[in-house]
């Protein structure tokens, strides 16, 4: 099987190790991974801030970049939800504005083939034990778009429960938003920070050494808040946990996880 | 928080103050978490909740599509049952009508059933200007009125007050409005309720005019419905000689059979009860039973304009249950007053800008008062996709576009104060649509990463005041891919040429 990796702009720019982890993980599971270079951003920051028209070129670009692929896999619940929920809306509004069916066709091609990573693993590859090893205590925060827009349900949990060495700690109030919300974080900084502080308090209260999500954007906010408070709890993307193996841990040379502290909060 | 950052609109400024109020935060966190857990249990009892919710949304949508004919049917039914019907295009007209109707009775005092519509139009203030005193009889509305305060929640207007604050308000204020609080009043809920009961009983027994809203109006029979918990509504709806009901036109349902759906959806979503304690229905007037005169004031006040917006109109399905407030993490921390309207929380953030127009700085800030987490949509008993409407309204703010104002289609200009953001968004789209330029920018950021500050100046402080910035890595993912894998695919699927299609 061959899939295209949609790495997302934030992972490309700030968290490349997450992208490398996805490559490591999928290749270990026998999947051939492609990285179409024409890809960029799904357009979510523009769209969710109200700039729908500025989003349209990125819908076309997504369609062009992944046109030849049957599966598009992305390590982001939020970006997958953008494609699946909002591309059809953008297309419908463009059609209603008399600008034809171009975006409708683009959305119709993009929507059915786009999968968030844990969805692809559980629903398409039909695996919950990916042969991972991660000898740490971890708490899992279900991010809002994965939880409510994609309906990821317990897929991430089931994957984590099969990771050897991993001890999962229950996060109180797990389903409450962390307060990131894209531009919300800077447009309403007081409320965003208050929500972040409460989330971080809950994370710290679990005693876990790492907090895991399916979205690095939320993790940037949670991790940034943890770091500002001097906490030692590490923010980790689920792909990096699932990519880890015993051999990798001993050799320290998994391409996905060997990058040290880069991308993380300083 | 960026403090006095220029151009900061109204909601963020108000919320920056309220999030620092630790008593308010504690009161709200306690109240909202209690009710949200109870709601979840009450809803989980019904295995056909999803179908009920879909039915509620469908009935509301269909009614709204044919609202003109249902309103005419309602008017006919109410008149046939002995009531009188008045049409109010806006708040001012509604207040004028109600003031005139009260004056015609010769009374100077009225008792009120808790009503969102009369809050929306500022009826109490309008009546006060005409020398008419309106007494709120809902316990929480009484607390708000005695405390010279503003409501901060749809269902529990005094949710921001705790027991000891309420005791202090009763002790201090009840005497100047009527029967004073009993001596030695404590903050036990039973004593507070008894004090309110004694104070209000006097009003119920002397008032000649009652003013209410309604939860539903049944078009086929002209019946109005009020659901409540305290029994004050039943008193106001049955004891006075004259009853005046001010109701938003979207409260119409075609038949009694439709009502069945909403009488299941509303109490479970609102108070987490299987059924509310009091459901009062009345149809016009009946000789020797209840008010001798009944006036229905049908309120538009921006509703028809809202109906013209195919995305935004779903806000008119709202049955005012307040489930969205109780689950909203933003409401829980900012409090209801920050929303600058009687409709706070997620529903207020989509209703207020539509009813009032989005041009004001408060109204323009409300669609942004959400992290788009979607908890509101999940609990909404009539499936209003609040995040979808929020994003739709954000577009109206920054891009402008077609809107309807007092029945006339007009094109809104983009709001001022977003020039820098607009330029940044366009630049981002340009960069993301030109991967060559993007790659250059990433490499520049990587090469200069040791020089990046830990905290940002100016608007960037909104991030870095509470959070560390992420470190820029030495190499982007696409550079790593090209360096390690770039040559492996001669079929062209990952070459730069494909990136240059545009």
ipTM comes to: 0.94
Cβ–Cβ gap A50/B391 under 8 Å: yes
Chain A residues 148-177 with a CB less than 8 Å from chain B? 148-149, 175-177
Does residue A102 sit in the same domain as residue A7? yes
B190-224 burial: b if 16+ Cβ within 10 Å, else e: ebbeebbeebbeebbeebbbbbbbbbbbbbebbbb
Q: Is the pLDDT of residue A257 over 60?
A: no
Does residue A80 sit in the same domain as residue A162? no
Q: Is the pLDDT of residue B2 over 80?
A: no
Q: What's the full length of chain A, in residues?
A: 266
What pLDDT, on the 0 to 100 scale, is given for residue A110?
98
Which residues in chain A touch residue B399, judged by CB atoms under 8 angstroms apart?
A: 50-53
Q: Is the pLDDT of residue A34 over 90?
A: yes
Longest CA pairwise span in chain B (Å): 93
Tokens 């509004």, residue? A93
Q: Give residue A247's pLDDT band: very low, low, confident or very high (50, 70, 90).
A: confident
Does residue A129 fall inside a structural domain?
Answer: no
Cβ–Cβ gap A13/B476 under 8 Å: yes
Chain B residues 375-394 with a CB less than 8 Å from chain A? 375, 377-378, 388, 391, 393-394
Does residue A30 sit in the same domain as residue A110? yes
The phi and psi torsions of B25 (rounded to 5 degrees) equal: -60, -40
Cβ–Cβ gap B477/A7 under 8 Å: yes
Q: CATH 3.40.50.10420 region(s) of chain B?
A: 68-136+208-313
The tokens describing A163, both together, are 């990771």
Least confident of A34-38, B206-210, B282-286, B494-498: B494-498
User: Are residues B56 and B83 in contact, defined by beta-carbon separation less than 8 angstroms?
Assistant: no
Query: CB contact, 8 Å: B361 with chain A?
Result: no
The phi and psi torsions of B278 (rounded to 5 degrees) equal: -125, 125
Q: Is the pLDDT of residue A263 over 70?
A: no
What pLDDT, on the 0 to 100 scale, is given for residue B496?
43
Which residues in chain B touch residue A224, judged by CB atoms under 8 angstroms apart?
A: 463, 466-470
Number of C-beta neighbours around residue B422 at 10 A = 17
Which residues in chain A touch residue B489, judged by CB atoms under 8 angstroms apart?
A: 34
Does residue A266 fall inside a structural domain?
Answer: no
- Report helix, strand or coil for B112: strand
What pLDDT, on the 0 to 100 scale, is given for residue B9?
52
Number of structural domains in chain A: 2
What pLDDT, on the 0 to 100 scale, is given for residue B5?
31
Does residue A120 sit in the same domain as residue A159? no
Least confident of A108-112, A212-216, B359-363: B359-363
- CATH H-level, domain B68-136+208-313: superfamily: NagB/RpiA/CoA transferase-like (3.40.50.10420)
Does residue A193 fall inside a structural domain?
Answer: yes
Q: What count of CB pairs under 8 Å joins A to B? A: 241
Does residue A264 fall inside a structural domain?
Answer: no
Does residue A119 sit in the same domain as residue A143? no
Query: CB contact, 8 Å: A217 with chain B?
Result: no
What pLDDT, on the 0 to 100 scale, is given for residue B501?
34
Query: CB contact, 8 Å: A17 with chain B?
Result: yes
Closest-CA residue in chain B for A263?
A: B471
**Which one of A19, A61, A189 has the shortest CB-CB distance to B1?**
A189
State pLDDT tens for residues B410-429: 999 998 878 888 888 888 88
Report the distance separating Cα B443 and Cα B476, nearest Å: 8
Does residue A162 sit in the same domain as residue A238? yes
Closest-CA residue in chain A for B395?
A: A50
Cβ–Cβ gap B372/A182 under 8 Å: yes
Tokens 């009488």, residue? B263
Does residue A95 sit in the same domain as residue A170? no
Mean pLDDT over B37-47 rounds to 97
State pLDDT tens for residues A124-177: 999 999 999 999 999 999 999 999 999 999 999 999 999 999 999 999 999 999
Does residue A102 sit in the same domain as residue A142? no
Report the distance separating Cα B427 and Cα B415, nearest Å: 19
The phi and psi torsions of B139 (rounded to 5 degrees) equal: -55, -50
Query: CATH number for the domain including A31?
Result: 3.40.50
What pLDDT, on the 0 to 100 scale, is given for residue B427?
86
State pLDDT tens for residues A4-26: 999 999 999 999 999 999 999 99
Does residue A258 fall inside a structural domain?
Answer: no
Report the distance separating Cα A223 and Cα A236, nearest Å: 9
Q: What is the DSSP letter of A188?
A: S
Q: Suggest the residue from A5, A192, A231, A260 to mutate for an interface test with chain B (most B CBs closer than 10 A).
A: A192
Q: Is the pLDDT of residue B502 over 70?
A: no
**Which one of A179, A187, A224 has the shortest CB-CB distance to B468?**
A224
Query: What's the gap in Å between the CA of A18 and the closest CA on chain B?
Result: 9
Average pLDDT of chain A, as a whole number: 93
User: Are residues B254 and B221 in contact, defined by beta-carbon separation less than 8 angstroms?
Assistant: no
Cβ–Cβ gap A177/B459 under 8 Å: no
Number of C-beta neighbours around residue B474 at 10 A = 15
Cβ–Cβ gap B462/A185 under 8 Å: yes
Mean pLDDT over B316-338 rounds to 97
Which residues in chain B touch residue A183, judged by CB atoms under 8 angstroms apart?
A: 368
Report the distance separating Cα A55 and Cα A46, nearest Å: 6
Query: What's the gap in Å between the CA of B35 and the closest CA on chain A?
Result: 15
Does residue A130 fall inside a structural domain?
Answer: no
% of chain B with per-residue pLDDT over 90 = 83
**Which one of A48, A144, A191 has the shortest CB-CB distance to B330?**
A191
Chain A residues 242-261 with a CB less than 8 Å from chain B? 255, 259, 261
Shortest CA distance to B385 belongs to which of B397, B371, B375? B375
Closest-CA residue in chain A for B7?
A: A187
Does residue A7 fall inside a structural domain?
Answer: yes
User: Are residues A15 and A7 in contact, defined by beta-carbon separation less than 8 angstroms?
Assistant: no
Q: Give residue B105's pLDDT band: very low, low, confident or very high (50, 70, 90).
A: very high
Does residue A97 sit in the same domain as residue A141? no
Average pLDDT of chain B, as a whole number: 92
Does residue A152 sit in the same domain as residue A247? yes
What pLDDT, on the 0 to 100 scale, is given for residue B458?
74
Q: Suggest the residue from B440, B473, B486 to mutate for an interface test with chain A (most A CBs closer than 10 A).
A: B473
What pLDDT, on the 0 to 100 scale, is given for residue B329?
98
**Which one of B378, B399, B429 has the shortest CB-CB distance to A57?**
B429
Domain boundary among A103, A124, A145: A124
Closest-CA residue in chain B for A22?
A: B477
What pLDDT, on the 0 to 100 scale, is given for residue B492?
45
Report the distance separating Cα B109 and Cα A116, nearest Å: 62
State pLDDT tens for residues B427-458: 888 888 887 888 888 888 888 887 887 777 77
Mean pLDDT over A257-264 rounds to 42
Q: Suggest the residue from B468, B487, B490, B495 to mutate for an interface test with chain A (most A CBs closer than 10 A).
A: B468
Cβ–Cβ gap B473/A263 under 8 Å: yes
Does residue A10 fall inside a structural domain?
Answer: yes
State pLDDT tens for residues A62-104: 999 999 999 999 999 999 999 999 999 999 999 999 999 999 9
Q: Under 8 Å CB-to-CB from A177, ≥6 apart: which residues?
A: A144, A195, B329, B371, B373, B375
Does residue A66 sit in the same domain as residue A162? no
**Which one of A149, A188, A224 has the shortest CB-CB distance to B467?**
A224
What pLDDT, on the 0 to 100 scale, is given for residue A258?
36
Cβ–Cβ gap A259/B329 under 8 Å: no
Q: What is the dihedral of CA B93, B99, B102, B105, to 10 degrees?
A: -100
Query: What's the gap in Å between the CA of B394 and the closest CA on chain A?
Result: 4
Cβ–Cβ gap B428/A41 under 8 Å: yes
Q: List the domain range (segments joined by +) for residue A98.
A: 2-124
State pLDDT tens for residues A192-210: 999 999 999 999 999 999 9
What pLDDT, on the 0 to 100 scale, is given for residue B488?
53
Strands B293-299 and B401-405: unpaired
Query: What's the gap in Å between the CA of B448 and the closest CA on chain A?
Result: 14
State pLDDT tens for residues B251-268: 999 999 999 999 999 999
Cβ–Cβ gap B470/A40 under 8 Å: no
Strands B223-228 and B278-283: antiparallel
Q: How many CA atoms lie within 13 A of B106 on its CB side?
A: 1
What pLDDT, on the 0 to 100 scale, is given for residue B487?
61
Does residue A27 sit in the same domain as residue A105? yes
Tokens 């909202």, residue? B32
State pLDDT tens for residues B346-388: 999 999 999 999 999 999 999 999 999 999 999 999 999 999 9
């Amino acid at each position: 099987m061959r899939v295209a990796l949609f790495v997302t702009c934030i992972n490309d720019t700030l968290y490349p190790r997450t992208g490398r982890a996805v490559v490591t993980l999928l290749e270990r599971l026998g999947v051939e991974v492609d990285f179409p270079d024409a890809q960029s951003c799904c357009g979510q920051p523009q769209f969710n801030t109200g700039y729908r028209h500025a989003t349209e070129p990125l819908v076309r670009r997504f369609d062009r970049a992944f046109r030849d692929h049957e599966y598009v896999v992305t390590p982001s619940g939020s970006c997958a939800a953008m494609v699946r929920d909002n591309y059809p809306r953008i297309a419908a509004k463009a059609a209603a504005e008399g600008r034809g069916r171009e975006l409708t066709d683009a959305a119709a091609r993009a929507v059915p083939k786009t999968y968030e990573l844990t969805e692809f693993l559980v629903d398409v590859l039909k695996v919950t034990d990916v042969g991972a090893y991660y000898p740490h205590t971890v708490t899992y925060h279900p991010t809002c778009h994965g939880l409510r827009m994609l309906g990821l349900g317990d897929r991430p949990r089931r994957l984590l429960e099969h990771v050897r060495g991993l001890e999962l700690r229950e996060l109180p109030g797990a389903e409450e938003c962390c307060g990131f919300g894209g531009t919300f974080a800077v447009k309403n900084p007081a409320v965003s920070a208050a929500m972040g502080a409460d989330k971080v308090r809950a994370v710290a209260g679990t005693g876990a050494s790492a907090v895991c999500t399916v979205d690095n954007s939320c993790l940037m906010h949670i991790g940034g808040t943890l770091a500002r408070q001097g906490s030692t709890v590490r923010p980790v993307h689920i792909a990096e946990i699932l990519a880890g193996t015993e051999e990798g841990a001993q050799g320290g040379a998994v391409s996905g996880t060997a990058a040290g502290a880069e991308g993380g909060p300083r | 928080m960026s403090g006095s950052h220029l151009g900061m609109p109204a909601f963020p400024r108000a919320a920056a103050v309220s999030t620092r109020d630790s008593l308010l935060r504690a009161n709200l966190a306690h109240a909202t978490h209690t009710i949200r857990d109870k709601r979840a249990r009450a809803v989980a009892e019904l295995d056909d909740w999803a179908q009920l919710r879909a039915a509620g949304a469908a009935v509301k949508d269909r009614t709204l599509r044919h609202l003109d004919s249902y309103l005419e049917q309602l008017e006919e039914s109410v008149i046939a049952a002995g009531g009188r019907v008045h049409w109010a295009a806006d708040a001012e007209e509604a207040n004028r009508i109600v003031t005139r109707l009260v004056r015609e009775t010769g009374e100077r005092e009225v008792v009120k059933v808790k009503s969102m519509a009369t809050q929306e139009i500022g009826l109490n203030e309008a009546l006060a200007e005409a020398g008419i005193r309106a007494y709120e009889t809902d316990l929480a509305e009484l607390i708000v009125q005695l405390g010279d305060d503003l409501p901060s929640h749809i269902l529990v207007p005094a949710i921001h007050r705790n027991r000891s604050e309420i005791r202090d308000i009763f002790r201090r204020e009840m005497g100047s409005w009527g029967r004073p609080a009993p001596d030695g009043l404590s903050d036990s809920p039973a004593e507070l309720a008894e004090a309110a009961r004694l104070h209000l009983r006097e009003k119920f027994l002397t008032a000649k005019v009652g003013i209410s809203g309604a939860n539903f109006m049944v078009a086929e029979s002209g019946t109005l419905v009020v659901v409540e918990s305290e029994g004050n509504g039943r008193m106001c709806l049955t004891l006075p000689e004259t009853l005046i009901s001010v109701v938003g036109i979207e409260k119409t349902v075609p038949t009694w059979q439709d009502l069945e759906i909403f009488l299941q959806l509303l109490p479970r979503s609102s108070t987490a009860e299987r059924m509310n304690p009091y459901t009062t229905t009345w149809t016009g007037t009946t000789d020797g039973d209840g008010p001798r005169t009944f006036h229905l004031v049908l309120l538009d006040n921006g509703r028809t304009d809202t109906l013209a917006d195919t995305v935004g109109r779903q806000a008119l399905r709202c049955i005012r249950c307040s489930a969205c407030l109780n689950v909203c993490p933003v409401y829980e921390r900012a409090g209801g007053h920050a929303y600058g309207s009687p409709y706070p929380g997620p529903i207020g953030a989509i209703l207020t800008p539509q009813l009032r127009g989005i041009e004001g700085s408060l109204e323009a800030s409300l669609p942004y008062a959400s992290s788009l987490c979607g908890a509101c949509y999940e609990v909404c008993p009539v499936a209003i996709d609040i995040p979808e409407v929020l994003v739709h309204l954000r577009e109206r703010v920054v891009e402008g576009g077609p809107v309807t104002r007092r029945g006339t289609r007009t094109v809104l200009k983009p709001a001022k104060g977003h020039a820098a953001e607009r330029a940044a968004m366009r630049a981002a789209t340009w960069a993301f649509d030109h991967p060559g330029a993007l790659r250059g920018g990433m490499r520049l950021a990587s090469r200069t990463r040791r020089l990046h500050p830990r905290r940002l100046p100016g608007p960037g402080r909104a991030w870095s005041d509470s959070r560390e910035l992420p470190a820029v890595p030495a190499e982007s993912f696409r550079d790593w891919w090209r360096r390690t894998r770039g040559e492996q695919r001669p079929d062209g699927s990952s070459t730069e040429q494909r990136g240059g299609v545009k």
